[in-house]
Copies of this chain bind each other. A is one copy, B any other.
């Protein structure tokens, strides 16, 4: 019973890259007890290229924002694999925090964030259902359109 989550992702064409470590005095994840906290992940693809830059409501469509949120979720999965070795050790996706770079009139952040939530449930099934907070922010690191952080219960 190991590797089943990663196999499911592979069937979807999603392969998890080895994530780059931050070039600063912080780390991608910290475990405390059975909780794993993962740093905010911006919408970079496996090659480190930004999926979507700029703001929802101006530069980025909802559909492209959803792809960006999905990319953030894939980066969370890549960090989970780096932390745990095996994604099957995830007992529960506890909470996702979704940050949507938005012009002040863009009220559809939750639709964008669904791109991340849907991938978690695809990967983990019922264990992937999480508490979630979505907010529209002024701007994100590197002008990313979306950033997602996560809290996970792990074994």
Residues of chain A having any CB pair with chain B under 8 Å: 22, 24-30, 32-35, 37-40, 55, 92-97, 99, 102-110, 114, 117-118, 120-121, 128-143, 147, 149, 151, 153
Contacts and interface: CB of A to CB of B under 8 A. Distances in A.
Contacts of A106: 138-139
Nearest to A110: B141
B134 A137 contact: no
Copies in the complex: 3
B25 A117 contact: yes
Given A26-B117, A32-B153, 12 more contacts: A24-B110, A26-B129, A26-B131, A26-B132, A30-B129, A32-B92, A32-B94, A37-B94, A37-B131, A39-B133, A110-B141, A137-B138
Contact of A95 (B37, B55, B108, B139): B37
